[in-house]
Structure 1
């Protein structure tokens, strides 16, 4: 079972995290999850 953690930030924290590269857009997260799931499924075969 894969464990994903989603954290909600206060607005003032958000800008700092974006500038540090910690915040990903939804599409980036979706494609990242897809590649993780694909790798996991291939290992199971």
Structure 2
């Protein structure tokens, strides 16, 4: 999975691009917070049922 943060081509929005899926945010801070939280959740230990 790839994830990157970039400025939207138009307006003042920011994008978090996850593979080919774009999530739009109104500020860079919101985009960074989302990306950080998502990474924490993905990296967290997960217990699989037996």
TM-score by length of 2: 0.46
Q: Which has the higher helix share?
A: 1
Q: Which has the higher strand share?
A: 2
TM-score by length of 1: 0.49
User: Which structure ranks higher in relative contact order (CA pairs < 8 Å, sequence separation ≥ 6)?
Assistant: 2
The structure having more radius of gyration, on CA atoms, is: 1
